Amino acid sequence: MTPAEAATQIGLIASKAADTAPQEGSLSPYRIYDVEHWAKLRADTPMTLSINEIRRMQGLNDPISVEEVELVYLPLARLLFHYVKATQTLFQATAQFLDLKDSKVPFIIGLAGSVSAGKSTTARVLQALLARWPSMPKVDLITTDGFLYPNAVLQAEGLMERKGFPESYDVGALLRFLTDIKAGRKSTTAPLYSHLIYDVVPNETITISNPDILILEGLNVLQVRDLPPGGDSVPFVSDFFDFSIYLDADEAFVQQWYRERFLRLRETAFRDPKSFFRTFAELSEQDALAKADDIWARINRPNLLENILPTRQRADLILRKGADHRIDQVALRRL
């Protein structure tokens, strides 16, 4: 398949239901599909996950069903298959033109969205589906949590209340990691983060070894920075992405999901003696909800409105959820 043929195939998939799918205004860079129309793009893509596997992949207070995998994620897996093939073909053509002997370059998928939007579940489902393509690619998944500065650094800099905001991440380390991945290094490492202790684990790393596809999940992976004068090079994390996804929902829904998850954690992980939030386990339900609302108002809501939501339009694909956690709309960027 030539690069032109691969691009044509992607275009055909993206526009197959265009005549009947609802559309945004003519100036929108997206084609908008409801789930009914999006599901038609699955074609003959087989379901490769069992009910039990899907249940194990769902996050805390983030339900997902076999039906949703079939309606939303299988068409997406099919689309990504063609994007990966097209990108590989383009790389081979470029390498041949430049007479390069480089090894394969992993296809990187960025996944952004608010706290409690369900990014972890989406990432795990995609990882499993992509890894079961007939070619059996190696698909790795990593979150940006490990690239947060350690709590000691955040406390020293007065940033604990800004944890999760762009300034709380070691962006330089994240860019070096992605550079190594895109350079085709056989093995590279990333810091390990523990949600139990709410901190980067000292001297512990995750090793990523020669993946075919890497999914990078995080709040601010589509974030940009101010550009310097003079045209100096300023790389963004998203510069390394071959495809990007934003998991979207109304703010009121996400806040409610955050409250529900907080109550679930109060009954589970918070009760672990090692938990950073151990004291929250002793709160009454009313006090726990008040604490969740306070954290949302002081930290999560400002981060969403100031940093995360403004990056939505930078994504190649937007998955929009309704109040019941189910994806009810898909927006795919026009080629």
Per-residue model confidence (pLDDT) at position 15? 52
Beta bridge partners of 148: 169
List domains and CATH numbers for the chain. 3-224+233-333 (3.40.50.300)
Per mean pLDDT, which range of 231-235, 239-243, 257-261, 298-302 is the poorest? 231-235
DSSP 49: -
Per-residue model confidence (pLDDT) at position 187? 92
In this structure, are residues 275 and 196 in contact, taking their beta carbons and an 8 Å threshold? yes
Q: Which residue has the tokens 């430049």?
A: 98
- The mean pLDDT value of the chain amounts to 91
Round to the nearest angstrom and report the end-to-end CA distance of the chain.
Answer: 19
Per-residue model confidence (pLDDT) at position 267? 93
Per-residue model confidence (pLDDT) at position 166? 96
Q: What is this structure's pTM?
A: 0.91
Residue 129 pLDDT class (50, 70, 90 cuts): very high
pLDDT tens digits, one per residue of 15-62: 554 443 444 556 789 999 999 999 999 999 999 999 999 999 988 888
State the CB neighbour count (10 A cutoff) for residue 297: 11
* Paired tokens of 312: 């939505």
Residue 155 pLDDT class (50, 70, 90 cuts): very high
Helix (H, G, I), strand (E, B), or coil: what is residue 112? strand
pLDDT tens digits, one per residue of 199-219: 999 999 999 999 999 999 999
- Residues in CB range of 75: below 8 A, 6 or more apart: 38, 39, 40, 41, 42, 45
Helix (H, G, I), strand (E, B), or coil: what is residue 75? helix
Residue of 83, 85, 25 whose CA lies nearest to 245: 83
Q: Which residue has the tokens 């073909």?
A: 89
Per-residue model confidence (pLDDT) at position 36? 96
Per-residue model confidence (pLDDT) at position 10? 56
Per-residue model confidence (pLDDT) at position 2? 52
As a whole-number percent, the residues of the chain with pLDDT over 70 amount to 92
**pLDDT at residue 171 greater than cutoff 60:** yes
Residue 3 pLDDT class (50, 70, 90 cuts): very low
d(CA 314, CA 218): 14
pLDDT tens digits, one per residue of 267-294: 999 999 999 999 999 999 999 999 999 9
**pLDDT at residue 86 greater than cutoff 50:** yes
* CA atoms in the 13 A half-sphere facing the CB of 157: 13
* φ/ψ (deg, to 5) at 10: -65, -45
Strands 187-194 and 199-209: antiparallel
Average pLDDT on 110-129 reads 97
Per-residue model confidence (pLDDT) at position 230? 81
Per-residue model confidence (pLDDT) at position 184? 86
